[in-house]
Copies of this chain bind each other. A is one copy, B any other.
Amino acid sequence: MNGKQQLVSEVGEFGLIDIINTDTIIDKMHVLKGIGDDCAVVRTADPNSYQLFTTDMLVESIHFSKLMQDEDVGYKAIICSVSDIAAMGGMPRDCLISLGTPGNIEVARIERLYAGMRQACKAYNVNIIGGDTVCSPQGIIINVALTGTIDSRYVVYRSGASIGDLVVVSGKLGLSAIGLVLLQQQIAQTAENQHFFEKHCRPTARVELGQLLAKHGATAMNDISDGLASELNEIANSSAVGILIDERLIPVARLPLAIEALLEKSSTHYALYGGEDYELVFTIAPSSYARFSAATKAAVAVIGQVTAEFSGVQLRTIDGSLITLESRGYNHFSN
């Protein structure tokens, strides 16, 4: 530490979390999982049920901009947290919403923001039970803290992936990031491109799918908030395994030519690094996966396998070469 002081931008979000995540738990019997998963997990008075907790902060000009409708910003703020509950296999329940806002913002904007939040809360049966309202010197700040419940038999951590498990994702990936590009370039919505906008502005949290997967024995699960590459690295690192995925198997959207012409990167790039799709990525034993597939029509795709041959995440590209997938999703600090 002589001389030069290290900056937050140099250690990034994960470096910060390492600094924060020391000596945080006093009651180790009560806290089953603290920092380091989609949700914290604590015991309740009912041994058959655990409580889940998650929180997300969204800051104007970092996580959203005036290009998005206020209702959509509010809706998505709730979905971010609901999706974390889904990624454990749980059911969302109660939320607290903190709002920071400059004084010179129109009250009508705040009303629209909360209208969007209420819509999302109704869609996922979440009670808004409290919050805080403060002044912000610049831009709107939203913090959502959300609880959930889960059957204690079925909680899915990101640390349970086993050698030989399949690696599976729900939905199609990269659409949200492509939707953001369309918003930023102020492209008009059409029937052909509408699903990209919707995925970015009104994403779905996979709560039912998460519960179904938990009951069918998914061994590790994350929601895709930071991009597939980042989520896979979290699972591989937490589970101390390697993950090999095949580029040809990653479900991406078919791109209309008009959109393809706008994009600087491939569909795969947006799927791997785009983030905010709020789909689920999970590992599951092949036999469990067969039973799960028979029980549902959910759109999921096997993209790879858990392996002992290396640590971290590797991608077999379309041309057959193997590359290491680094955990670089959104790192807002480095922008």
Contact = CB atoms under 8 A, between A and B. Distances in A.
A55 interface: yes
Nearest to A44: B45
Given A105-B7, A114-B20, A141 B94 contact: no
A293 interface: no
Interface residues of A, number: 85
Contact of A131 (B20, B93, B98, B100): B20
A111 B34 contact: no
Given A1-B108, A57-B132, A118-B23, A143 B98 contact: yes
Given A100-B57, A141-B59, A19 B107 contact: yes
Contacts of A254: none
A145 B26 contact: no
A62 interface: yes
Interface string A21-50: 001111100110111000110101110010
Contacts of A75: none
Contacts of A49: 45
B141 A100 contact: yes
Contact of A132 (B56, B93, B335): B56
A194 interface: no
Given A40-B94, A96-B53, A135 B16 contact: no
Interface stretch (A121-129, A182-190, A273-281): A121-129
Given A101-B8, A125-B26, A31 B107 contact: no
Contacts of A126: 26
B55 A134 contact: no
Interface string A258-290: 000000000000000000000000000000000
Given A8-B102, A26-B125, A53 B133 contact: no
Contact of A130 (B45, B53, B99, B131): B53
Contact of A31 (B53, B57, B59, B94): B94
A248 B321 CA distance: 83
A58 B5 CA distance: 25
Q: How many copies does the complex hold?
A: 2
Contact of A35 (B39, B57, B130): B130
A247 interface: no
A83 to B, nearest CB: 13
A139 interface: yes
A307 interface: no
A49 B54 CA distance: 22
A331 to B, nearest CB: 9
Given A8-B104, A55-B96, A96-B54, A45 B42 contact: no
A136 B57 CA distance: 10
B104 A62 contact: no
A65 to B, nearest CB: 11
Given A27-B127, A35-B130, A40-B96, 5 more contacts: A25-B128, A40-B130, A55-B143, A57-B132, A62-B134
14 contacts: A8-B103, A20-B99, A20-B131, A27-B93, A30-B94, A35-B131, A44-B45, A55-B143, A56-B98, A57-B100, A63-B134, A132-B143, A134-B332, A135-B332
